[in-house]
């Protein structure tokens, strides 16, 4: 039935949903779950109120967390080899070899690293499900950073693995093209309390106009944690901010190793290709709460998902606000265990800055062998 309980959805990735298309049918053939679908009453039983500590939260990383060698050792887990075999068919190149062997400059390219992080994160869920199936079974909420949102929605049963990967491929290639059209980038900023990011961006845009750049872009593209933002836009604007960091009360600035100004209107050329592919795939209501980067709130229905995944490309990532939404609870209520699934542990570091009490229940499930990552 394609929706036989959360664990079934998380383990099958594929879909036997009517009309899911040839890619989904291929996936169903390739990925046979080692976990049988739950009994009919199991999903209802999961909905019963439980101690907050018993529920779990999964966080899915985004672009920038990739590294050469990720997924080494994960092929031992059920389904992971099949996921990469299917990925090769969807993408048209050997993603597993690129992840394991590089070269790094190829893996870091937007068109490659987005699919790489997407699949690696779901491979890490396979590992988690093998080592601690109760964590997957008890998941009540998920969130993904930028492209990680696609992985979160696959995990939650809203998107089919193969169809979502195809959408990620289209998104990544379109964002790569948009990046190459304008010299632009992203600047990570840690500011003092008195820092005024919007005013700094305004002055940077005025600087660009003085250089003859028409309609320049310089805006906050990521809200990470209190006093930390990512500013994206024309390279000349970012260089101006670095040179005048003290004036704007910026303690630290660092150019990020990305090719363009993601989550700004410079990505508008990527909107239409992604919108078209999302119209062509089936989207279902998630089996658990999944939070949107665009507004920090839960997705409500399939049209909502389709609309906001497109909007996300040109909208700032409200990650700090999302963390507040996920962990909002009454005083004295216990925090759930949180698992970051996939390469890198940046989301854990951000969670520590956003909510120290929630971070104390944080664990990382890396895209590496058990001995290196199972208990970090």
Secondary structure of 327-344 in HEC code, one letter for each residue? HCCCCCCCCCEEEEECCC
Assess whether 263 carries a catalytic annotation. Answer: yes
Contact between 47 and 35 (Cβ < 8 Å): no
Verify whether residue 280 is a known catalytic residue.
no
Catalytic residue chosen out of the listed positions 263, 292, 315, 364: 263
Residue found by looking up tokens 């190793």 in the block: 257
CA distances from 89 to 3, 23, 30, 200, 333 (A): 25, 9, 12, 46, 46
Parallel, antiparallel, or unpaired for β 218-225 and 56-60?
Answer: unpaired
For residue 231, which phi and psi values (nearest 5 degrees)? Answer: -105, 135
| 259 Cβ contact list (under 8 Å, min separation 6) | 109, 110, 176, 179, 180, 185
Please enumerate in sequence order all residues whose Cβ is within 8 A of that of 373, keeping only pairs 6 or more positions apart, or say none. Answer: 364, 365, 366, 367
Find how far residue 111's CA is from the centre of its chain.
15
List the catalytic residue out of 33, 65, 121, 146: 146
Token pair 């970090």 in the structure block, residue: 376
| Token pair listed for 260 | 């363009």
The answer to whether 150 touches 166, Cβ cutoff 8 Å, is no
Helix (H) or strand (E) holding 177: helix 161-181
Q: What is the DSSP letter of 234?
A: E
- Catalytic residue set: 146, 263
């Amino acid at each position: 039935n394609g929706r036989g309980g959360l664990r079934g959805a998380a383990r099958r990735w594929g879909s036997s949903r009517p009309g899911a298309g040839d890619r989904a049918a291929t996936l169903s053939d390739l990925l046979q779950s080692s976990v049988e679908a739950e009994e009919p009453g199991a999903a209802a039983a999961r909905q019963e109120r439980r101690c907050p500590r018993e529920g779990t939260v999964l966080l899915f990383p985004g672009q920038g967390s990739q590294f050469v060698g990720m997924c080494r050792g994960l092929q031992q887990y059920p389904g992971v080899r099949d996921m990469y075999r299917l990925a090769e068919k969807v993408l048209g190149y050997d993603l597993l070899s690129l992840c394991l062997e590089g070269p790094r400059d190829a893996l870091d390219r937007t068109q490659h690293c987005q699919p790489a992080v997407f699949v690696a994160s779901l491979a890490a869920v396979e590992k988690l499900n093998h080592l601690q199936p109760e964590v997957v079974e008890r998941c009540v909420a998920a969130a993904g950073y930028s492209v990680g949102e696609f992985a979160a929605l696959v995990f939650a049963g809203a998107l089919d693995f193969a169809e979502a990967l195809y959408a990620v491929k289209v998104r990544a290639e379109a964002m790569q093209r948009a990046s190459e059209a304008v010299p632009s980038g992203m600047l990570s900023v840690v500011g003092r309390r008195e820092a005024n990011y919007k005013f700094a961006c305004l002055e940077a845009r005025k600087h660009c106009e003085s250089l003859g750049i028409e309609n320049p872009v310089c805006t906050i593209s990521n809200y990470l944690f209190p006093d930390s933002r990512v500013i994206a836009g024309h390279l000349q604007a970012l260089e101006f901010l670095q040179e005048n960091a003290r004036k704007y009360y910026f303690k630290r600035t660092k150019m990020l190793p990305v090719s363009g100004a993601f989550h700004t209107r410079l990505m508008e050329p990527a909107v239409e290709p992604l919108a078209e592919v999302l119209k062509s795939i089936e989207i279902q209501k998630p089996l658990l709460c999944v939070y949107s980067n665009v507004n920090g709130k839960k997705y409500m229905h399939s049209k909502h998902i389709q609309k906001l995944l497109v909007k996300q490309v040109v909208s700032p990532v409200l990650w700090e606000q999302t963390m507040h939404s996920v962990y909002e609870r009454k005083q004295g209520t216990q925090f759930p265990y949180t698992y970051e699934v996939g390469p890198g542990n940046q989301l854990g570091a951000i969670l520590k800055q956003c909510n120290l009490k929630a971070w104390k229940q944080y664990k990382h499930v890396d895209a590496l062998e058990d001995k290196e990552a199972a208990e970090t």
